[in-house]
Chains A and B, each alone.
Chain A
Amino acid sequence: MARKPSTRVVLAKVGLDGHDRGIKIVARALRDAGMEVIYAGLWQTPEAVVRTVADEDADWLGLSLLSGAHLTLVPRVLQLLRDAGLEHVGVLVGGIIPEADIPKLLEIGVARVFGPGTALDEIVGFLRERHGATHA
């Protein structure tokens, strides 16, 4: 019996940043929206995150950064994804990202940046809409 394919999302925090309240709330919201959420946890290296995305065959990768290191770590993750042949995986960024940096992240291939105050429905809605388009 084929089961309705559900979206697989890896959520991870990269770098030295111990604030995981937000990412856990997002994990819960995506779960309640019927998605399979693989929570990779704190203090991940870009290499470890990409390995997780590969082995878990994820559709999306959500990175949470509150450390200010997003312009160093996010490009590195994106590069490693491309090196691993995983350019089809969509990347979301959440956390504390200054307004001025958002266009830079979008330009290098991040699908969307969700800052503080984002409604959970907005994240769920975005993934649902995109899932239909990219994983028919």
Chain B
Amino acid sequence: MLKSLIERLQHGDRLALARLLTLASRGERLEEMSAALPQTSAGSRVVAITGSGGVGKSTLVGKLIELIRAHGQTVAVLACDPQSPLTGGALLGDRFRMPDRTDDDGVFIRSLAAPSGHGAIADHLDVMVRLLDRFGFGVILIETVGAGQGDTVIRDLADVLVLLVQPEMGDDLQWEKAGLPEVADVVVVHKADLPSSELVEAQVRSMLALSKDSHIPVLRVSARTSQGLEQLWETIAGIPSRRVLHNDDGAGLLQAAHAVLADWFAAAKADRLPELQQLLSQWQHGRLNQAEAASALVQLLQREYGAPHEKPGVH
């Protein structure tokens, strides 16, 4: 049955996609699904939208759907709402705020219940993203339950993480607590039609500057007036993908490993690590061949910078 569902998915059958998403959300037959899905990504761009409740995530996603369609791309939405820790029930009301595009096969919206304490997103979202990618959606929007520590979980899943804040959330100290602007790729001051949005933009900018994150774009956007929407989408489109492509053959992971090693190597150079100088000198003088030296380098960097003895300045 699973095999035929995946075959149907590849032929663009929405009902098969819907059923596979249900199976994935319930954690059923995940391994089989992973094995049966095509290995290579169809190249979807995954954009996560996070922010506190009431900040306008669903409304903005609704506007983005229209914009993405106007740009000629297809779009799928995974909209997470909280699941009651007491009853397991959930009232999923996100799609209620999204546009009615009944006749448009280029839009797919799925509401998901996110258990409490799971990082503000539904379980097995990674598998669901893969299903939507293999179905062929150009853009996948993930809407979280709310901002917080869960944003670091979603960060690994998405190419771009957009954090929404709004005016009247509190004084400037609140930015140190509300949301985690430093994990975002773009910060949106939403409801920009409200009078104090310029002040909020300034506060967010100064806070980001304090933590050396001033390169993170801060944009004022209003879903109500559509102010800043085009610019937001342009900004999102211009951000290079951070996500590791989850190729099952491990190519993406290998690429990520290269990046980790490069970080460690840069840190070792900056620290003028004596062991590194020694190793380089041994190699330069031919006392080690290239393979031996490379292997020794990996071991050295792992010993010095790998978990659990993480050093400052390295991530």
What is A's interface to B at a CB cutoff of 8 Å? 1-6, 8, 27-28, 30-41, 44-45, 47-48, 51-52, 54-57, 84-86
Contact = CB atoms under 8 A, between A and B. Distances in A.
Interface string B20-62: 0110001110000000000000000000000000000000000
Given A2-B27, A41-B96, A56 B91 contact: no
A53 to B, nearest CB: 9
B141 to A, nearest CB: 14
A39 B89 contact: no
A interface, by DSSP: helix, strand, loop or mixed?
mixed
Tier of interface size on chain B: 20 to 34
A3 B123 contact: yes
A119 to B, nearest CB: 18
Most buried by B among A4, A38, A52: A38
Contact of A31 (B18, B84, B96): B84
A32 B83 CA distance: 10
A32 B84 contact: yes
Given A55-B14, A57-B19, A48 B84 contact: no
B92 A36 contact: yes
B87 A31 contact: yes
Nearest to B27: A2
Interface stretch (B109-117, B151-159, B208-216): B109-117
B21 A48 contact: no
Contacts of A38: 92, 95, 111
Contact of A2 (B15, B28, B93, B109): B28
A4 to B, nearest CB: 7
A37 B94 CA distance: 11
18 contacts: A2-B27, A3-B123, A6-B88, A31-B90, A32-B89, A33-B87, A34-B84, A34-B88, A35-B89, A40-B96, A47-B102, A47-B103, A48-B100, A48-B102, A55-B14, A55-B110, A85-B15, A86-B15
Contacts of B103: 47
A35 B87 CA distance: 8
Interface of B: 14-15, 18-19, 21-22, 26-28, 83-84, 87-93, 95-96, 100, 102-103, 108-111, 113, 123
B102 A3 contact: no
Contact of B21 (A30, A39, A45, A57): A57
Contact of B102 (A27, A33, A36, A51): A51
Nearest to B79: A38
Contacts of A8: 22
A39 B110 contact: no
Nearest to B17: A55
Given A3-B27, A37-B89, 5 more contacts: A2-B28, A31-B89, A32-B87, A32-B89, A56-B111
Nearest to A35: B89
A86 B19 CA distance: 12
**What 5 pairs between A and B have smallest CB-CB spacing?**
A31-B89, A57-B18, A41-B96, A48-B102, A57-B22
A27 B84 CA distance: 14
Nearest to B29: A2
A55 B108 contact: yes
A28 B89 CA distance: 9
A93 B138 CA distance: 37
A34 B90 CA distance: 7
A2 B28 CA distance: 6
B87 A34 contact: yes
A41 B90 CA distance: 16
Given A2-B26, A41-B96, A55-B109, A36 B87 contact: no
Contacts of B123: 1, 3
